[in-house]
Amino acid sequence: MGLGARDGDWVDVEMAYPVLRAVRQLLQFGTDVRVVDPPEARTEIVRAVADLHALYGRQDPA
């Protein structure tokens, strides 16, 4: 993990994961993290959010 320059309230951090799916761990930070690159990691985050919405986004909890 490497720290980069500050941009206002944001700090650039570079991380490496052994498998692409592991980037889902970043979801624990909610809106306090933004995945910038690579595009495949962003796509994995979007898929994870879509999966969560499909599971919890309904009014009926059944």
Angle formed at CA 12 by CA 49 and CA 21, multiple of 5 degrees: 35
At 28, is the secondary structure helix, strand, or coil?
helix
For residues 2 and 45, the model is more confident at 45
DSSP for 39-57 reads: HHHHHHHHHHHHHHHHHH-
| Cα–Cα distance, 57 to 36 (Å, whole number) | 25
What would the pLDDT profile of 4-43 be if each residue is shown by its tens digit? Answer: 555 677 888 899 999 999 999 999 999 999 999 999 999 9
Output the six-digit token pair for 32: 């306090």
Given a cut of 80, whether residue 3 has pLDDT beyond it is no
pLDDT band at 2 (very low <50, low <70, confident <90, very high): low
Instruction: Note the pTM of the prediction, 2 decimals.
Output: 0.75
Return the domain boundaries, the chain: 17-62
Task: Specify the amino acid at residue 14.
Answer: E
